[in-house]
A = this chain, B = another copy of it.
């Protein structure tokens, strides 16, 4: 990505520019310009926004006394529909907690700069007490600065006639750049959640390009699939969705995903003991989950931004709140050392647990029967092929792309 205009004008290297800006930690806000010298105003214009530092000293101390240190959350694709829901959920305190002040660092494209300002203005107008800073930008090196979390929603949508292989390629390049930016700018323990599709392989690319950040910290979103699977089990069983637990999604966030009815529980009982219909489980359940986005887009005329944002919030909360005893959540993580024999070096969705400290472990007590194993293997094979298609982006000796001309397994409603 190019240096931004201010830095280019000043003839600064990226590194130098960053160190300058780190000496002046100001809040970038999309607001009317305060009176300022013309040159200063010009420099500010380079960002398309104006800067202002808030005095928070005269706040009621009872509001902030028990608060934690501010968490810095970078969000890409910040002017898009999913972010438009998610940012307000983050700012409200619903996700990171009511004692967790938050700074939002929003990344957009040159094309969306004005829209980003609009988002920042709407966040301001919402007066969320916990939202302490909003900054916006188009340079990932800058926007990811010191980020504790990076929520990578932005990805190129698939154009007409584009194959999944092309999508892998185009988005792969974005995630290579962004991975390098994370590596250089983000907090050393930054948690990264990739939403932009194909999210597993995008997460892999970002991870391989960010060797300074632990591999365990990279996630691909399969929580929406988990939520949809829980909903389908609730609908089929006639039980309320709160009674469904241990709902694992295995593998790739594509139509080869494996929603695991074998280990799922409904009201504490194994799902197959409640829904006594193996044909339904084997033939209908998985497509219902995988094709839900497509069904929604038909009804709704647009993709499911709100419920996707909710699932991102759920995925974050799963890491910052301890998992209930006996339960699990699904997330795509590095398969290194997994207890299920899945090939290493893939971002693969597993059932996981967390102590609520931002870290997790893969649950080791799920039963993988023959049926599950075959399905998991197929998703694993697909992920391996995706990996080979992007080998040049992750420093591997490549690999031809066996996915060219292959069946499209993109989850409908998401390209």
- Residue of A54, A114, A127, A238 contacting most chain B CB atoms (<10 Å): A127
Q: Check A124 against B243 for contact (C-beta < 8 Å).
A: no
Q: Check B52 against A306 for contact (C-beta < 8 Å).
A: no
Q: Check A306 against B88 for contact (C-beta < 8 Å).
A: yes
- In the complex, what residues of B have CB within 8 A of residue A288's CB? 32
Q: Is A217 at the interface (CB under 8 A from chain B)?
A: no
Count of A interface residues, CB-CB < 8 Å = 64
- In the complex, what residues of B have CB within 8 A of residue A30's CB? 299
Specify the main secondary structure of chain A where it touches its partner: helix
Q: Check B227 against A299 for contact (C-beta < 8 Å).
A: no
Q: Is A119 at the interface (CB under 8 A from chain B)?
A: yes
Please pick, from B125, B238, B240, B298, the residue contacting A231 in the complex, using a CB distance under 8 A: B125
A259 to B268, CA, bound (A): 55
Q: Is A21 at the interface (CB under 8 A from chain B)?
A: no
Q: For chain A residues 213-269, which have a beta carbon within 8 Å of chain B? A: 224, 227-228, 230-231, 234-235, 238-243, 267-268
Which chain B residue has the least Cβ–Cβ distance from A92? B94
Please pick, from B52, B114, B227, B243, the residue contacting A300 in the complex, using a CB distance under 8 A: B114
Stretch at the interface among A55-63, A68-76, A140-148: A55-63
A306 to B92, CA, bound (A): 12
Q: Is A121 at the interface (CB under 8 A from chain B)?
A: yes
- Residue of A88, A132, A239, A299 contacting most chain B CB atoms (<10 Å): A299
Q: Check A240 against B118 for contact (C-beta < 8 Å).
A: no
Q: Is A365 at the interface (CB under 8 A from chain B)?
A: no
Which chain B residue has the least Cβ–Cβ distance from A125? B307
Please pick, from B85, B123, B299, the residue contacting A114 in the complex, using a CB distance under 8 A: B299
Q: Is A129 at the interface (CB under 8 A from chain B)?
A: yes
Q: For chain A residues 286-345, which have a beta carbon within 8 Å of chain B? A: 288, 292, 295-296, 298-301, 304, 306-307, 309-311, 314
Q: Pick 14 A–B contacts, CB within 8 A, sort by A.
A: A55-B238, A55-B240, A58-B239, A59-B242, A84-B306, A114-B298, A114-B299, A115-B299, A118-B304, A121-B299, A122-B304, A122-B307, A126-B227, A129-B242
Interface residues of A (CB under 8 A from B): 29-32, 34, 52-56, 58-60, 63, 84-85, 88-89, 92, 94, 114-115, 117-119, 121-127, 129, 132, 224, 227-228, 230-231, 234-235, 238-243, 267-268, 288, 292, 295-296, 298-301, 304, 306-307, 309-311, 314
